[in-house]
Amino acid sequence: MIDSYASLIKIRRQIFKEVAKLGYEGGDYSRVDEIPYELFRGEPVYRDSIFLERAIAGERIRLALGLSRRSPDEHNPISKGIEEAIKPEKYYEPPLINVIEFACNACPTESYHVTDVCVGCLANPCANVCPKGAIKIVNGKSHIDQSLCIHCGKCRDVCPYNAIVHRERPCAKACGVNAIESDENGKAKINYDKCVACGQCIVNCPFGAIADKSQIFQVIQAIKNDFEVYALMAPAFIGQFGPKVTLKTVRSALAELGFKDVVEVSIGADLCAIDEAHDFLENVPSKLKFMGTSCCPSWSVMAKNEFPEFKENISMTMTPMVLTARLVKKNHPNAKIVFIGPCASKKLEASRKKVRSDVDFVLTFEELMGMFEAKNVDFSKLTQDELKNETSSDGRGFAVAGGVAQAVVDVIKRIDPDKEVKVQSAQGLSNCKKMLELAKQGKYDGYLLEGMACPYGCVSGAGTINAPTKTKALVGVSQKEATLKNCCDSKYKEEITHLKK
């Protein structure tokens, strides 16, 4: 989450906590209808109306339950359909990411505006560079005729007083695939043919109008139904829950919630890097001009959607999440697998038919924190039950930008020390698209391309809690603590062939 959006963070966590409490307590689940009234009493806190706050909270609760939004034109309780959410095998129905219409502020789309800082200078450079003659002097100051403006930004670039600002809908600005559009009322709507579920719109909407569906409730049902529920922790978890939840205490923390055990997804990252390294050596440049990494679902889907000619250039290697899940289920076939990580796109990946049998549920760090709060887990009282140190430093580095490519390169160097591997990485889907445009022009022939949908990499995914820079530093510490350096040293490397079947 964005640190400066503290009020939105508070709302989201309140909802996750209440839904988790509902799941753990059991009983008559129709009492879910009372939660908005418990959260918002008396005078409104964030909106003009207490009734609007409750209505928005109701939709957030339904999404947190994994249920679909209600139609504004129908009178239905929040609890409608909750009997479906109670089933531990229930998987959310698409769409994953939703706009709550009556929470949306209908922010204006892209435009340039002259502010009061304008002094009406004699040179009038803004008008001189405008290719459409959209800028005139009105009452001694520059004025932009929006009907003529083509949003080129030249006026802003030349203004010596920085008096011209670029206004853009925050959710649309954060979306690297232009999936945010407007409905007939000017409210934001998502074009699901373009959306790749990176979740950046969720954390960049200052009105908290966008939310994704959760499986908190279903995970708790699986735990209560005595399934052996295993938590697969993505490497970016370090520091997310404060200094007390570490590699030495995370097993104890998850046990408080009812999980059977915890496994580092970095184990699967090691296997992913090994497989991608072989993929690269076998195909580049003999069959493919370049190869892209596979572990970020949003990057992978975007590349294949917008650059279909490069479909074969994105590695088909299974992601660390899937490889780790298959490894656990190989040894524990009746286990329920919960991937716990930083992003929404893993929910989309796990919903695919070929992955559903491997990964049963996906939670973000923020959703897991809601479970901790619902159970009143005291992190200061956790016992030390350290995870097995079975992963490499490079595997843990998957959490940060550049880490995936580095791990693959290190494996290649182990296989062929004289092999030169050129690397280019990009973070943020708009930058990833620029990288592929250059690849299209032949600029990256022979390269390994690493794409990450989120700035800084997974450490700033939409479901994170800790500041990305802090998490990046802590990931570096965890890398130093790993007993293995190279992914090739993994004791599970011989399992790759079996896991790929």
| Residue that has been written with the tokens 């963070």 in this structure | 9
Domain ranges within the chain, ordered by starting residue: 6-96+174-217, 111-167
The amino acid sitting at 415 is: I
0.85 exceeded by the pTM? yes
Q: What is the CATH number of domain 111-167?
A: 3.30.70.20
SS (H, E, C) 36-85: HHHHCCCCCCCCCCHHHHHHHHHHHHHHHCCCCCCCCCCCCCCCCCHHHH
Angstrom CA distances, 348 to 43, 94, 345, 365, stand at 38, 9, 5, 16
On whether the CB atoms of residues 390 and 490 are closer than 8 A, the answer is: yes
Q: Which two tokens stand for residue 380?
A: 């200061």
Of the candidates 214, 403, 422, which has an alpha carbon nearest to the alpha carbon of residue 295? Answer: 403
pLDDT at residue 347, rounded to an integer: 95
Q: Characterise 112 by phi-psi region: left (phi > 0), alpha (psi -120 to 50), beta (else).
A: beta
Which of helix, strand or coil describes residue 425? strand
On whether the CB atoms of residues 391 and 263 are closer than 8 A, the answer is: no
Q: Which two tokens stand for residue 102?
A: 């009556």
Of the candidates 76, 111, 100, 63, which has an alpha carbon nearest to the alpha carbon of residue 183? Answer: 100
Assess whether the previous peptide bond of 36 is cis (omega < 30° from 0). no
Q: What is the pLDDT along the chain (501 residues), one digit of tens a residue?
A: 455 578 888 999 999 999 999 999 999 999 999 999 999 998 998 899 999 999 999 999 999 999 999 988 888 999 999 998 888 777 778 999 999 999 999 998 899 999 999 999 999 999 999 999 999 999 999 999 999 999 999 999 999 999 999 999 999 999 999 999 999 999 999 999 999 999 999 999 999 999 999 999 999 999 999 999 999 999 999 999 999 999 999 999 999 999 999 999 999 999 999 999 999 999 999 999 999 999 999 999 999 999 999 999 999 999 999 999 999 999 999 999 999 999 999 999 999 888 889 999 999 999 999 999 999 999 999 999 888 889 999 999 999 999 999 999 999 999 999 999 999 999 999 999 999 999 999 999 999 999 999 999 999 999 999 999 999 999 999 999 999 999 999 999 999 988 987
pLDDT at residue 90, rounded to an integer: 73
Q: Where are the alpha helices (DSSP H) in 307-442?
A: 320-331, 345-350, 353-356, 365-374, 393-396, 403-415, 429-440
Q: Characterise 116 by phi-psi region: left (phi > 0), alpha (psi -120 to 50), beta (else).
A: alpha
The amino acid sitting at 65 is: L
Of the candidates 334, 297, 124, which has an alpha carbon nearest to the alpha carbon of residue 222? Answer: 334
pLDDT at residue 4, rounded to an integer: 59
- Residues 331, 327: Cα–Cα separation, whole Å: 7
On whether the CB atoms of residues 13 and 369 are closer than 8 A, the answer is: yes
Which of helix, strand or coil describes residue 148? coil
- Residues 82, 67: Cα–Cα separation, whole Å: 8
**Would you give the end-to-end CA distance of the chain in angstroms?**
37
Of the candidates 337, 355, 354, 351, which has an alpha carbon nearest to the alpha carbon of residue 232? Answer: 337
DSSP per-residue codes, 247-297: TTTHHHHHHHHT-SEEEETHHHHHHHHHHHHHHHHHHTTTT-S-EE--S-H
Residue 315's contacts (CB-CB under 8 Å, 6 or more residues apart) are 275, 276, 279, 280, 291, 292, 293, 294
